[in-house]
A = this chain, B = another copy of it.
Amino acid sequence: MTVTLSDVAREAGVSLATASRAINGSASRTVGAELRDRVLAAAVRLRYTPDANAQAMARGRTTSLGLLVHNIADPYFSAIAAGVAQSADAAGLQLTLASSENDPAREIEMVHLLRRQRARAIVLAGGRSDDVAVNDHLRLALADFRSSGGSAALIGQPILGVNTVVINNAQGASSLARAMHDLGYRRFAVLGGPEDYLSARERRDAFIFTLRELGTTIADADIVSTSMDHAGGQEAMRILLAAGTLPEMIFAVADTMALGALGVMREAGVRVPQDVALAGFNDISTLRDVTPALTTVRLPLHELGHMATELALSGSGDEPEIRTVHTELVIRDSTPRLR
């Protein structure tokens, strides 16, 4: 059914070894021109393709890179994935994509799967939680993976002992807070995402902290915790609306959340930015042209994918390598000057 290298060798009238050398051609290319041509011709004639699995076995290393995301349908992750895919391709690696659906247990499971597959490296995209048990398991899974020859990198918080691209969430949220204060806003609400999700918390806390430094405090009731996605934005906004008093400005710790909130507000007849200002985080590209243009904190998502891939592939010395990415504030129409 499948044509193997032996078939090619026989067809070309050479030994298996010669056929292998002629077709692979990589290392010490010591094969006569004539034989090489015969082999290549035979390979084409038979429509032969080397079996990557067999090669992996024989060579002792695979050619695949694992990418682990929370949810590939989320524009945040798909943008990162695009970067990783590009880098992987440039490195001649196949990308194995695993979408954990926001379930830490599945995430751990998939690290194990990637180990079974003997992936060269794993890129873990998406921030970490502060669940000690989960982190311990994940750390262990990653240690196993690395001990069986793989390397890993993650995008998020440097708490798992592997190379990490750290996003300076605090810086972004802080500069956003300052800018909002400068624009005249004084009464805020925060759609803060999951309580145990570090990226969300970093953004939320930095925002709150900076405002407090500027003399403005946010009531607890105006800080609402939900999931960090579209549905979470909707839910949080509903809670806020139900509470009654609308703030002057709402900070959603992710653009997708801001989007969900936007939808709920529209249904409720609340206008942005006339009735309330709104800002997000990430600057996902799909949203750059909508009205009102959303104020946000930009992250170089594509680039993040590149960096993480590079870090993942660079192997790991004893000390995990940390690279910090800074954010960029993008003020748009959704947060006009207040008075």
Contact = CB atoms under 8 A, between A and B. Distances in A.
Interface hub of A52, A262, A287 (most chain B Cβ within 10 A): A52
Interface stretch (A76-84, A173-181, A197-205): A76-84
Contacts of A147: 1, 47
Given A94-B96, A118-B53, A149-B1, A290 B85 contact: no
Contacts of A67: 97
Given A62-B53, A94-B96, A262 B286 contact: no
Contacts of A41: none
Contacts of A30: none
Interface hub of A3, A97, A101, A260 (most chain B Cβ within 10 A): A97
Interface residues of A, number: 64
A219 interface: no
A2 interface: yes
A51 B82 contact: no
Interface stretch (A10-18, A109-117, A164-172, A241-249): A109-117
Interface string A92-130: 001111110100000000001101111000000000000
28 contacts: A1-B148, A1-B149, A2-B148, A2-B149, A47-B144, A49-B116, A49-B144, A50-B116, A51-B118, A52-B118, A53-B57, A73-B285, A75-B75, A82-B99, A85-B98, A85-B99, A94-B113, A95-B96, A95-B98, A96-B96, A96-B97, A230-B285, A259-B289, A259-B290, A266-B291, A286-B287, A290-B290, A291-B291
A71 B286 CA distance: 14
A272 B291 CA distance: 10
A48 to B, nearest CB: 10
A276 interface: no
Contacts of A116: 49-52
Nearest to A271: B291
Contacts of A77: 78
A288 B261 CA distance: 12
A183 interface: no
A72 B53 contact: no
